[in-house]
Amino acid sequence: KNEVEQSPQNLTAQEGEFITINCSYSVGISALHWLQQHPGGGIVSLFMLSSGKKKHGRLIATINIQEKHSSLHITASHPRDSAVYICAVRSSRIQGAQKLVFGQGTRLTINP
């Protein structure tokens, strides 16, 4: 079993729909990242969370440390939101460790 699991793996929705992508992890973490990868490969860091909730524009990320679960929400989705969304965690097991462990990604397609 992967240390970081995302669901769904693929998601297709119509423009304007509310989108939720889920991430569950099995290790203790010091931080969780949500990343966006567009075709061509470039990765953009959307959020880094260690507790609570963060909002940026139409994007909202939440994390529940006790349940080891995080969600990424997109409100009023738009075709330009089509991308692969990746959840990544930084394990707290190893002091000073900075490496990220990644989920397999969720491929989001927003149709006009």
Partner 1 sequence: EAGVTQSPTHLIKTRGQQATLRCSPISGHTSVYWYQQALGLGLQFLLWYDEGEERNRGNFPPRFSGRQFPNYSSELNVNALELEDSALYLCASSLVFETSGRGNEQFFGPGTRLTVL
Q: Which of 7, 10, 12, 50 binds partner 1 (CB under 8 A)?
A: 50
In this structure, are residues 80 and 19 in contact, taking their beta carbons and an 8 Å threshold? no
Pick from 12, 15, 44, 53 the residue near partner 1 by CB under 8 A. 44
Among the candidate windows 17-25, 62-70, 73-81, 102-110, which touches partner 1 by CB under 8 A? Answer: 102-110
Any contact of residue 90 with partner 1 (CB under 8 A)? yes
Give me the sign of the Cα torsion angle 84, 42, 73, 61: positive
Query: Are the beta carbons of 17 and 36 closer than 8 angstroms?
Result: no
Q: How many residues bind partner 1 (CB under 8 A)?
A: 28
Instruction: Report the nearest approach of partner 1 to the CB of residue 42 (Å).
Output: 5
Q: In the bound complex, what is the minimum distance in angstroms from residue 75's beta carbon to partner 1? A: 23
The residue from 57, 66, 67, 95 that contacts partner 1 (CB under 8 A) is 95
Spatial CA neighbour of 14 closest among 85, 81, 106, 105: 81
